[in-house]
Structure 1
């Protein structure tokens, strides 16, 4: 008999939560999400809302270690001293493990939580994001996991990834929540600004909308409202049905995060990609692969207003040229759910062998 599945959800950006919900809804009963900011945001999926571990309101990943108390251990990414949130979330995770006795813990993403689960005698599946992750903490987290999960196409893998890591990876593109079939509005340009960052300068998007006046521009996410708003531009802020908005859009503009890229590729949308600076070259690595496969028109630096009509035209033309066969997308969430189910007995056997 195996226990339930735990799923740790990182709280930087919203893609981790959306991915976790898509997988959890496919798994059904027997999975619990654990993360900060989950209260009231997981529907019918069981969840534990953990105390916040951030040292500042804006999370940068820095833990301010390196003073007279000692350096951060080389096997960790984030280990601030004297932080009550870190202490309490660690206690809550281990308490849940002790009570629920999970058969498997999916970690999306945190080296520290992966190591905590392993220390608590739970097999882990580590969610491996894009980019070059050959640093000591990632190498140790990968080695301690019973399997690795990549929420992207194998064709988008960074060529510098070691073959042994590739061999242990389950590639699962298209991990998105179900959205109703929608009528596509080819005149709708949807700009998606994720909560993990993005260009929230409304004046820039107003300039772009004025440059392409025959399309309607819709902006989702945190963005300031420009003083001179053109008539074809609307700012929606955060909405619950981003997947539905993507399904209805004629063209999508956004960064190269896994969540947005998965949604765009699953629906085969014309895509203007503006990769953001991220640790481990995460988004730029994926953008380079998208460009090489002609799955997106990549914009590396903010373009002058006069370039927008050509960029929009290029993205539409790229999709009219067909779809890259390497990026065909199956039902990602359902595939992951079935795969996790097969891992449970293997993980239980490994636990018994180690006991």
Structure 2
């Protein structure tokens, strides 16, 4: 029997699972999604649901790193006496022994990457944008058969070592939304993902009042209280955001992989507001987009008085700059790459 592929997905945000689902639809081999999937839809794929490994005290938050001074230098997150962490590793080992997979895609975890090597599993380790030159990341990359970058080579961080680049397959953006023809809409679409803090309703209301000639369509989590101007519409979380924003004149949101992929596929004028992430993931990506003239980038939400000028600057963008980063065959090309690595 042909060995299948496992795809470990990190539980910070929904983008890792969306990427796995999008690529798995094109794989020649069966694919099992592995991760803490509570509340997330594996899209019909076989799934191994793992216990949560986040801090037992929710007040500690979760950054993917623990504060243990004596933690081995090859790890980011290895807290002691955590039953969830112990059980999830046991389940991964049991799954590997039972199914004899040909490949494990790790998106993303240094610890799972190194654990897979101890299980004698070939891995493709997903390397997100940002500065990943710290010791744990480099050891995970060293342990991998290959590295997968879910972004174009043109967005590569300048400090990435040559040996890491040589080992990397640049898949391009791996979003579920196909390219759309240019639309002549007038709305402003604002998208907040699950992995961040969400939108602030008073700030959104102030922005909408500052640009009253346009309708503001807001998707994702929003908190706070404010009097709603008539041109502000808050829709909450929707599963398939692409069709909702395809006709917008401007897309506003963070620098996460999914949203940047969608902006590129739909050739949308993009205001990128990168959110704080470990290793400067969104910031480094946003800086690259700005260098290429593919987006207007702001480090924080603009003040109300700034919005008219910001919108004018975004409208001046050439949408072909960000559209040129889209690779129509990225998903099938990535799937063929993974099938090839799985085949040895």
TM-score normalised by L of structure 1: 0.90
Question: Where do residues 158-197 of structure 1 align in structure 2 (5 Å cutoff)?
Answer: 158-178=157-177, 184=183, 186-197=185-196
Corresponding residue number in structure 2 for 1:134:
133
Q: Identify the residue that residue 316 of structure 2 maps to in structure 1.
A: 317
Equivalent residue number for residue 37 of structure 2: 37
Alpha-carbon shift at residue 244 of structure 1 (Å):
2.3
The equivalent residue for 1:268 is: 267
Distance 1:234 1:271 in 2: 19
- Is 1:341 aligned to 2:339, yes or no? yes
Which residue pairs with 1:290 in the alignment? 289
- Corresponding residue for residue 249 of structure 2: 250
Structure 1 stretches (4+) deviating beyond 3 angstroms?
178-185
Q: Is the 8 A contact 2:32 2:45 kept in 1?
A: yes
Deviation at 1:60, TM superposition (A): 2.5
Q: Secondary structure at the match of 2:222?
A: coil
Mean Cα deviation higher: 276-285 or 86-95: 276-285
Alpha-carbon contact 1:251-1:271 (below 8 Å) kept: yes
User: CA separation in 1, counterparts of 2:40 and 2:297?
Assistant: 36
CA distance 1:167–1:40, shift in 2 (3 Å): closer
Any idea what SS the aligned residue of 2:308 has? helix
Q: CA deviation at 1:319?
A: 2.4
Moved more, 270-279 or 25-34: 25-34
The equivalent residue for 2:216 is: 217
Kept in 2, the 8 Å contact 1:191–1:217? The answer is yes
Contact 2:34 / 2:48 at 8 angstroms: preserved in 1?
Answer: yes
TM-score of the two chains, using structure 2 as the length reference? 0.93
SS in structure 2 opposite 1:7?
A: strand
Cα distance between partner residues in 2 of 1:254 and 1:195: 12
**2:72 maps to 1:65:** no
User: 2:75 maps to which residue?
Assistant: 76
> Which segments of 5 or more consecutive residues in structure 2 lack a partner in the other structure?
none
1:5 touches 1:30 (CA, 8 Å); kept in 2? yes
Measured after TM superposition, the shift of residue 64 of structure 1 is 4.2
Q: Is the 8 A contact 1:25 1:45 kept in 2?
A: no
- Contiguous gaps of at least 5 residues in structure 1: 347-355
Question: Is residue 184–residue 247 contact of structure 1 (8 Å, CA) maintained in 2?
Answer: yes
Q: How does 1:117-128 map to 2 (within 5 A)?
A: 117-128=116-127
Secondary structure of residue in 1 paired with 2:233: strand
TM superposition shift of 1:114: 0.6
Counterpart of 1:327 in structure 2 is 325
Change (3 A) 1:235 1:46: same
Distance in 2, matches of 1:109 and 1:15, equals: 11
Secondary structure of the 2:90 match is: helix
Match of 1:65, SS? coil
CA contact (8 A) 1:180 1:244 kept: no
Q: CA deviation at 1:199?
A: 4.7
Secondary structure of the corresponding residue to residue 48 of structure 1: strand
* 1:198 positional shift: 4.1
Q: Is the contact made by 1:105 and 1:122 (CA closer than 8 Å) also made in structure 2?
A: yes
Residues 247-256 or 181-190, more deviating: 181-190
Distance 1:303 1:125 in 2: 39
Aligned counterparts of 2:39 and 2:210: Cα–Cα separation in 1: 42
Distance in 2 separating the partners of 1:216 and 1:225: 20
